[in-house]
Amino acid sequence: MPWFHNTLIVGLAIALSACAARGELACKSSERLAVHESLYFGTARPNGTVSYEQWREFLKATITPRFPLGLTVWQATGQWRSANGEISRESSYVLVLVHPDDVISERAVLEIVEIYKSRFQQEAVLRVRASACMSF
């Protein structure tokens, strides 16, 4: 019977630690809670690609005004399965934002995604959102 109790205790410890992991992130006193956001913008279009100049203009006119405090962008190559089931490979831009978890930032991200999809005939923009502790 002792093995049963040990197994039960280990099982409960694992279950409780999983519950704690789902709670709010605890930041140090020198940090503050923020959202770490990554957006993946594909460049393939039905009749060509989004050019570097078009991307730079989109960044300048659409993204920067919504996040003037800072952002990071880099070029990447990726692949994904489109709605028709085909694997698409394309050049992409990855945008990383760290911002407050508030309505204004959420609205700004959604606007950026919708404008890009509409302007450049995109089926989707991948969005990855996570809680983070930030400091300068």
Q: Where are the domains of the chain?
A: 29-134
pTM: predicted TM-score of the whole model, two decimal places: 0.79
Please state which CATH class domain 29-134 belongs to.
alpha beta
Tell me how long the chain is: 136
- CB count, 10 Å around CB of 49? 14
**Residue 100 clears pLDDT 90, i.e. is over it:** yes
pLDDT for 115-128, tens place per residue? 999 999 999 999 99
Residue percentage of the chain with pLDDT more than 90: 73
CB burial class (10 A; 0-12, 13-18, 19+) of residue 8? Answer: exposed
Contact predicate 92/40, CB 8 Å: yes
pLDDT for 63-93, tens place per residue? 999 999 999 999 999 998 888 898 989 999 9
